[in-house]
Chain A
Amino acid sequence: MSNNVIEIKGLTIKFPMKVGTLCAADEVDFNIEKGKITALVGESGSGKSTVASAVLKSVSSPGVISAGSIKYHEKDILKFGKDELQKYKWSSVAMVFQAAQNALNPVMTIKEQIVETVLAHEPEMKEEAIIAKATKLLEYVRLEPTRVLKAFPHELSGGMKQRVMIAFSLLLDPELVILDEPTTALDVITQDYIFDILEKIHKELGITMLLLTHDIGVVAKVADNVGVMYAGKIVESGDIFTVFEDGKHPYTRSLIHAAPSLIGEVKDLKSVRGAAPNLLDLPSGCTFHPRCSCAKSICSQVKPEVALLDGKHVVMCHIYSEENKKYWDDRGEANGK
């Protein structure tokens, strides 16, 4: 029995469009460990939201999952029927969407929306029981239940709406909660407060979390495991300390070093050179090679394979792959740094 809630293998998601086919996820292998907070970090367009939507089997049109499997406790959710899926969504895996402002219905009170959501999954449940549960959860996210239940979304601040969404996601006691950029557009103090609540929920209710973000600081603060995405691929994943302190992929290293910090000396930082690639016309070989400072000739020709370093630390870079070790050794170019 594995210790993973979700195991993603070879997941490929394609968006066929008039101008060509866009590959938002390319053979993604990724695990979400039970009882841990796993973060998926990447810039806009790297495919993290697409991968998360695949975990809920709700990739937005025209995207199709063209290959791979997503296993929820050994069962492939991509093969789920309608009933199984209905049960799986929200009661096993729930999601807190980016920009909570748009996730709530503006013409319904919070109470009506909560009752509607629960009844859609558990038609037998009594309204009083639903309200009682919602009250408890709203208190959990430090809101006043009596006031908030009666309120329309526009009567709440951005931070409050986000907390309502977190309470929403917990309504059916899911095992996994996916948080898609839960604090973008919120102020720093509110952001900190929300992560405080999320960490408490994680510890006390033992809920596994998948956090999607572009903010390296947030990842450092809350995550146990981290996966770094670039142009639809997971280029590195592993334990948070390993990836931050002994990151192997050149992209990971430059991403972490490109983050200005409030501590330590102010030193000149270097950003990753060049711009994010066009997903419709990806560079050949390793997709990162035009921006990579250690790129060699092989990088523009051959796609790198996944290399397992130690434990669960995985990196997708020619420098570390077993087959190419000889290639580098022969040329005396093998350098871990």
Chain B
Amino acid sequence: MENKPLLQLENISMVFERKEGLFAPPVKVGAVVDVNVTLNSGEIIALVGESGCGKTTMGKVVTGLLHPSEGRVLFKGVDIKQMNRAQYDEFRNGVQMVQQDSYAALNPTRTIFQSLSAPILEKKIVKNKAEARERVSELLKTVELNPPEQYLDKYPHQLSGGQRQRILLARAISLKPKIIVADEPVSMIDVSLRIAVLNLMASLNKKLGIAFIYITHDLATARYIANNGKIVVMYLGKIVETGNVTEVLNEPKHPYLQALVSAVPVPDPRVAKSKRSLPLKSVEMPNPANPPKGCRFNPRCPFAFKKCEEVEPELYKYGNGLAACHKLENK
């Protein structure tokens, strides 16, 4: 048990079936295909990709909201499908989620205290309402909402986006989780406040030792929060590159990531105006229900050769990372 990673995803695939009409056979969409990820305790992993790459589906698999079509999720070394009641409870309490849309994630007719006290009362972390109030106040202080009395009896619509996002973080840490899955937690809040929420997540990681899976499309915030952690880059349901976040982003190996990195605007006019992006053959994302044969990136890749159209590349090792590109095969 001791040296087991906190969470292991083994060959996870998630296939959705989409009905195409009364008589037509359903179309199968592989949202996530054969993904392996290992998360150690206290680690931050940034899960990065564009819309439709399967990153949110991955988050739902990790939290147990979706049961993968194939593969195993292991929490502290135990397959979640073979857990007994107590172990499964530990898993569900131990993995919490922070959603993107904080307004939709909070019940608009409940006060902050009601929303935050429900889980801790239910799970018997506190005995009664008075204790709950004390505990919720502490939680609000932890997420830097001071003084807590000012927020306890407010409704979600009375708070700003950044404050609501902090409430979601407070709710997530209330059950003392080991892992928090944060799905685009800052994409809906104002630019000037984003860094504050990211800094808060980083401090929760340091102080409470909570591991984070930070799901985002934004490479710059991924690099900021996962500072020296791991990055997993997905494209059309598959991992294309993974490794240490700084190393991977400084020298991306996969052409998709190279294109992505080169397309990110840099907040410095002298650098931004001289930066040239990698020209892709097409900007359109292929249909995930009918992914291209061979390497999934080959119709857009400027370096694609014959083999890329036929054989799907596996993850090749380079330095400290892995990348799924045929160019790396013989290196």
**Nearest chain B CB to A17 CB, angstrom units:** 17
**Bound form: Cα–Cα A157–B190 in Å:** 26
**Bound form: Cα–Cα A157–B261 in Å:** 22
Chain B 86-115: CB-based contact to A (< 8 A → 1; otherwise 0) = 000000000000000000000000000000
Chain A 228-269: CB-based contact to B (< 8 A → 1; otherwise 0) = 000000000000110011000000001110111111001011
Given contacts A159-B284, A193-B283, A275-B163, contact A241 B223 (CB under 8 A): no
**Bound form: Cα–Cα A192–B258 in Å:** 13
Identify which of B17-25, B149-157, B269-277, B311-319 touches chain A.
Answer: B269-277
Please tell me if the beta carbons of A271 and B264 are within 8 angstroms of each other in the complex: no
Residue of B nearest to A244 (CB): B269
Please tell me if the beta carbons of A262 and B223 are within 8 angstroms of each other in the complex: yes
Identify which of B55-63, B133-141, B175-183, B193-201 touches chain A.
Answer: B193-201
* Contact partners of A223 in chain B: CB under 8 A: 269
Is A334 part of the contact surface with B, judged by Cβ < 8 Å? Answer: no
Residue of A nearest to B228 (CB): A266
* Contact partners of A196 in chain B: CB under 8 A: 277
**Bound form: Cα–Cα A263–B191 in Å:** 18
**Bound form: Cα–Cα A295–B224 in Å:** 29
**Nearest chain A CB to B22 CB, angstrom units:** 21
* Contact partners of A160 in chain B: CB under 8 A: 284
Given contacts A217-B264, A220-B265, A261-B268, contact A188 B195 (CB under 8 A): no
Residue total for A at the interface (Cβ-Cβ under 8 A): 43
Task: Give the contacting residue for B263; candidates A159, A189, A220, A260; CB below 8 A.
Answer: A189
Please tell me if the beta carbons of A217 and B266 are within 8 angstroms of each other in the complex: yes
* Contact partners of A157 in chain B: CB under 8 A: 284-285
Sample of 10 A–B contacts (CB below 8 Å): A43-B192, A160-B284, A187-B217, A193-B263, A215-B191, A218-B265, A220-B269, A221-B275, A259-B191, A262-B220
Given contacts A187-B51, A254-B192, A259-B191, contact A275 B160 (CB under 8 A): yes
Please tell me if the beta carbons of A215 and B51 are within 8 angstroms of each other in the complex: no
Residue of B nearest to A157 (CB): B284
**Bound form: Cα–Cα A254–B267 in Å:** 12
Task: Give the contacting residue for B266; candidates A159, A221, A266, A273; CB below 8 A.
Answer: A221
**Bound form: Cα–Cα A258–B271 in Å:** 17
Please tell me if the beta carbons of B192 and A266 are within 8 angstroms of each other in the complex: no
**Nearest chain A CB to B117 CB, angstrom units:** 25
Is A270 part of the contact surface with B, judged by Cβ < 8 Å? Answer: yes
* Contact partners of B280 in chain A: CB under 8 A: 189
**Nearest chain B CB to A307 CB, angstrom units:** 23
**Bound form: Cα–Cα A193–B285 in Å:** 13
Please tell me if the beta carbons of A266 and B267 are within 8 angstroms of each other in the complex: no
Given contacts A255-B191, A255-B192, A276-B160, contact A261 B267 (CB under 8 A): yes
Chain A 210-228: CB-based contact to B (< 8 A → 1; otherwise 0) = 0000111110110100000
Please tell me if the beta carbons of A159 and B265 are within 8 angstroms of each other in the complex: no
**Bound form: Cα–Cα A18–B181 in Å:** 42
Please tell me if the beta carbons of A261 and B220 are within 8 angstroms of each other in the complex: yes
* Contact partners of B50 in chain A: CB under 8 A: 187-189
Is A44 part of the contact surface with B, judged by Cβ < 8 Å? Answer: yes
**Bound form: Cα–Cα A175–B196 in Å:** 41
* Contact partners of B45 in chain A: CB under 8 A: none
* Contact partners of A43 in chain B: CB under 8 A: 190-192
Is A58 part of the contact surface with B, judged by Cβ < 8 Å? Answer: no
**Max chain B CB contacts within 10 Å: which of A159, A217, A259, A273?**
A259
Is A66 part of the contact surface with B, judged by Cβ < 8 Å? Answer: no
**Nearest chain B CB to A147 CB, angstrom units:** 12
* Contact partners of A191 in chain B: CB under 8 A: 263, 265
Is A272 part of the contact surface with B, judged by Cβ < 8 Å? Answer: yes
**Max chain A CB contacts within 10 Å: which of B191, B249, B264, B270?**
B191
Please tell me if the beta carbons of A220 and B264 are within 8 angstroms of each other in the complex: no
Residue of A nearest to B300 (CB): A189
**Bound form: Cα–Cα A254–B194 in Å:** 12
Is A190 part of the contact surface with B, judged by Cβ < 8 Å? Answer: yes
Please tell me if the beta carbons of A221 and B273 are within 8 angstroms of each other in the complex: yes
**Bound form: Cα–Cα A159–B270 in Å:** 27
* Contact partners of B246 in chain A: CB under 8 A: 266
**Nearest chain B CB to A210 CB, angstrom units:** 18
* Contact partners of B223 in chain A: CB under 8 A: 260, 262, 266
Task: Give the contacting residue for A272; candidates B192, B221, B271, B275; CB below 8 A.
Answer: B192
Is B219 part of the contact surface with A, judged by Cβ < 8 Å? Answer: yes
Task: Give the contacting residue for A258; candidates B162, B192, B272; CB below 8 A.
Answer: B192
**Max chain A CB contacts within 10 Å: which of B50, B160, B193, B285?**
B193
Closest 4 CB pairs of A and B: A217-B265, A192-B263, A271-B195, A272-B192
Is B260 part of the contact surface with A, judged by Cβ < 8 Å? Answer: yes
Please tell me if the beta carbons of A241 and B249 are within 8 angstroms of each other in the complex: no
Given contacts A44-B190, A189-B259, A261-B267, contact A275 B162 (CB under 8 A): yes
* Contact partners of B263 in chain A: CB under 8 A: 188-189, 191-193
**Bound form: Cα–Cα A254–B190 in Å:** 13
Residue of A nearest to B269 (CB): A220
Chain A 165-203: CB-based contact to B (< 8 A → 1; otherwise 0) = 000000000000000000000011111110010000000
**Bound form: Cα–Cα A216–B266 in Å:** 8
